């Protein structure tokens, strides 16, 4: 057991290298787990002042004299606490002595050898991590000489090789293998998601203090712009089955140049019901209590597991002051490539299995209308493929599509591009989005008239592809770094075909929703057991643990 006496809640060894986000103590989030315990602040430096913020108002709370200060109840009632002055180091701690459980880190990976190796090495350097499980789904790491050397010298490292079963298959295997040490907390981490040892230790301290079983997530920051906060605490809206922030933030936040006075939008207005698996810490015994993830290949496995945990009485929290840095996603990659089919199919499956009403169908159709009007006809095609698979029922695909989940989506994408792409380079007529009223009028006109040669060709960077930025174009050229990636035509006949298909599929969903909901509610729990996953692993081809058991 890793022991911290007294228990440090936050520790900054070198304030000159830490961002204000990392240095700030989120009193509002810590209060419920601290309870009546005293919090002691220890700081090294000169002219240090304790500052608080609540409801967007700043308050100076006085000097930190002789490097130490016991915080009063009124000070802990602030939302945020931080230090100003010439600070060298700072520790926020309890007088309480508390043993922290060890951590098993689980890293699924698919043919990203450099990322997987670097991630394993980072975790092996962390004091609280006693085991690192690398789940290789690409079959390349067992022969990598760098990893073989690391395995030979590190008893804490294990490599498990299996076919590509997606993120859910990688994490399920990791959770199953981690069960060999039932007293350990389990961290799920992407192979390219970077978390510091201090962030992980803070999460472990919070989780250990929590009076109820609590699944801990970490805020997601961009690895390209390290102070750009991409996602914080999130919840699933059970009316529409979309995930959304628990606070009032409307999108990514750039924290550079801000202070906690400006962070009020992050305060949750509704409870979190799941955490993203780019960096989630499960308390010891979670898998034994809740089971394993659904075999969804990717997308919605983390949200479904969170909803399952919530129903079982678990809390969820995302701890400010911690951070995971990850390459940012964009809508073009997510919605206009093969994962979009799985994303929508899995959303409907989780909604049905959770007993959702028809609001998810209304939301789905509204988004499909936007896809059609915006010329995102590939997205519409992929969503309809997902709807068709969902309507076929869980017996047609759930737990049986792991070896074809990606290839089937890729075939749809390839066929669509073959039909709709321009065969030669195209010159744009517009390099910025058209005004929305004009764009909407043009889209409606194209929807209702015969096909004709493109008049409006719009150039859009891939990171800015949204329904509002492409609407009103007869053709779209998508670029990255100024270089064209693809160019496709938006035909009115294709829009009409997509809209007609969507109307028919959503009417069928609405009529059959009650029956589909009953089928998925019965089926989903059968696929989250150890026995179900063990059979799935065996059918795919048994993974071979490599390294020390």
Assigned token pair, 359: 């609001």
Among residues 163, 187, 158, 178, the alpha carbon closest in space to that of 110 is found at: 163
Q: Is the pLDDT of residue 387 over 60?
A: yes
Rounded Cα gap, residues 68 and 72, in angstroms: 13
Q: Is the pLDDT of residue 381 over 80?
A: yes
Q: Is 272 helix (H, G, I), strand (E, B) or coil?
A: coil
Query: CB count, 10 Å around CB of 251?
Result: 8
Q: Is the pLDDT of residue 384 over 90?
A: yes
Q: Is the pLDDT of residue 2 over 70?
A: no
Rounded Cα gap, residues 27 and 52, in angstroms: 9
Q: Is the pLDDT of residue 199 over 80?
A: yes
Q: Is the pLDDT of residue 1 over 90?
A: no
Number of H helices, E strands in the chain: 18, 25
Mean pLDDT of the 219-228 span: 96
Among residues 50, 38, 39, 42, the alpha carbon closest in space to that of 11 is found at: 42
Q: Is 96 helix (H, G, I), strand (E, B) or coil?
A: coil
Q: Is the pLDDT of residue 392 over 70?
A: yes
- The tokens 């795919």 sit on which residue? 540
pLDDT per position as a tens digit, 242-287 = 999 999 998 899 999 999 999 999 999 999 999 999 999 999 999 9
Mean pLDDT of the 417-437 span: 91
Rounded Cα gap, residues 176 and 8, in angstroms: 31
pLDDT per position as a tens digit, 140-165 = 999 999 999 999 999 999 999 999 99
Length of the chain, in residues: 549
pLDDT band at 130 (very low <50, low <70, confident <90, very high): very high
Percent of the chain having pLDDT more than 70? Answer: 98
pLDDT band at 549 (very low <50, low <70, confident <90, very high): very low
Mean pLDDT of the 431-444 span: 95
What angle, 0 to 180 degrees and rounded to 10, lies between the N-to-C axes of helices 359-374 and 377-391?
Answer: 150
Assigned token pair, 14: 């070198």
- The secondary structure element, H or E, covering residue 316 is strand 315-318
pLDDT per position as a tens digit, 31-79 = 999 999 999 999 999 999 999 999 999 999 999 999 999 999 999 999 9
Provide the terminal-to-terminal Cα distance of the chain, rounded to the nearest Å.
19
> Can you name the residues that pair with 50 across neighbouring β-strands?
62, 83
pLDDT band at 544 (very low <50, low <70, confident <90, very high): very low
Mean pLDDT of the 122-133 span: 97
Q: Is the pLDDT of residue 547 over 70?
A: no
Rounded Cα gap, residues 348 and 345, in angstroms: 5
- The secondary structure element, H or E, covering residue 247 is none
Mean pLDDT of the 472-495 span: 93
Q: Are strands 129-136 and 185-189 parallel, antiparallel or unpaired?
A: unpaired
Q: Is the pLDDT of residue 543 over 50?
A: no
Q: Are strands 220-222 and 228-231 parallel, antiparallel or unpaired?
A: antiparallel
Per-residue pLDDT at 330: 80
Per-residue pLDDT at 5: 66
Per-residue pLDDT at 546: 44
């Amino acid at each position: 057991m890793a022991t911290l006496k007294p228990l440090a809640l936050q520790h900054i060894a070198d304030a000159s290298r830490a961002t204000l986000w990392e240095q700030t103590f989120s009193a509002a989030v810590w209060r419920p787990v601290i309870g009546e315990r005293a919090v002691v602040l220890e700081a090294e430096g000169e002219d240090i002042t304790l500052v608080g913020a609540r409801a967007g108002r700043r308050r100076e709370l006085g000097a930190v004299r002789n490097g130490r200060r016991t915080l009063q109840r009124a000070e802990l009632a602030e939302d945020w606490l931080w230090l100003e002055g010439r600070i060298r180091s700072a520790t926020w701690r309890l007088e309480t002595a508390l043993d922290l459980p060890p951590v098993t880190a689980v890293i699924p990976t698919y043919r990203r050898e450099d990322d997987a190796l670097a991630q394993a090495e980072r975790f092996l350097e962390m004091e609280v991590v006693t085991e690192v499980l690398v789940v290789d789904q690409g079959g390349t790491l067992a022969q990598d000489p760098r990893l073989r050397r690391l395995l030979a010298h590190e008893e804490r490292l294990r490599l498990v090789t299996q076919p590509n079963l997606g993120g859910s298959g990688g994490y399920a295997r990791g959770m199953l293998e981690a069960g060999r040490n039932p007293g350990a907390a389990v961290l799920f981490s992407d192979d390219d998601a970077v978390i510091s040892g201090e962030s992980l230790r803070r999460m472990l301290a919070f989780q250990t203090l929590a009076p109820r079983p609590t699944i801990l997530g970490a805020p997601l920051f961009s690895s390209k712009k390290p102070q750009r906060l991409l996602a914080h605490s999130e919840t699933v809206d059970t009316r529409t089955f979309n995930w959304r922030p628990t606070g009032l933030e409307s999108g990514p936040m750039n924290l550079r140049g801000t202070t906690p006075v400006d962070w009020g939008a992050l305060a949750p207005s509704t409870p979190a019901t799941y955490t993203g698996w780019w960096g989630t810490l499960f308390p010891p015994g979670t898998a034994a209590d809740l089971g394993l993830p659904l075999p969804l290949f990717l997308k919605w496995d983390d949200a479904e597991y969170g909803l399952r945990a919530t129903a079982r009485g678990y809390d969820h929290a995302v701890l400010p002051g911690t951070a995971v840095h990850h390459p940012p996603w964009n809508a073009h990659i997510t919605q206009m490539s093969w994962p979009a089919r799985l994303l929508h199919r899995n959303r409907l499956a989780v909604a049905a299995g959770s007993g959702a009403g028809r609001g998810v169908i209304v939301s789905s159709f509204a988004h499909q209308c936007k896809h059609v009007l915006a010329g995102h006809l590939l997205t519409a095609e992929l969503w309809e493929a997902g709807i068709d698979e969902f309507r076929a029922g869980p017996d047609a695909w759930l737990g049986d599509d792991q070896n074809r989940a990606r290839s089937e989506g890729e075939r749809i994408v390839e066929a669509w591009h073959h039909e709709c792409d321009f065969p030669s380079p195209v010159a744009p007529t517009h390099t910025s989005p058209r005004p929305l009223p004009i764009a909407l009028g043009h889209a409606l006109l194209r929807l209702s008239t015969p096909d004709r040669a493109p008049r409006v060709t719009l150039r859009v960077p891939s990171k800015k592809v949204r329904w509002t930025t492409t609407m009103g174009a007869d053709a779209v050229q998508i670029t990255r770094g100024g270089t064209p990636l693809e160019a496709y035509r938006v035909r009115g006949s294709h829009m009409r075909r997509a809209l007609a298909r969507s109307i028919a599929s959503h009417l069928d969903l609405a009529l059959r929703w009650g029956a589909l909901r009953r089928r998925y509610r019965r089926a989903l729990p059968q696929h989250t057991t150890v026995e179900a996953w063990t059979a799935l692993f065996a059918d795919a081809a048994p993974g071979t643990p490599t390294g020390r058991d």
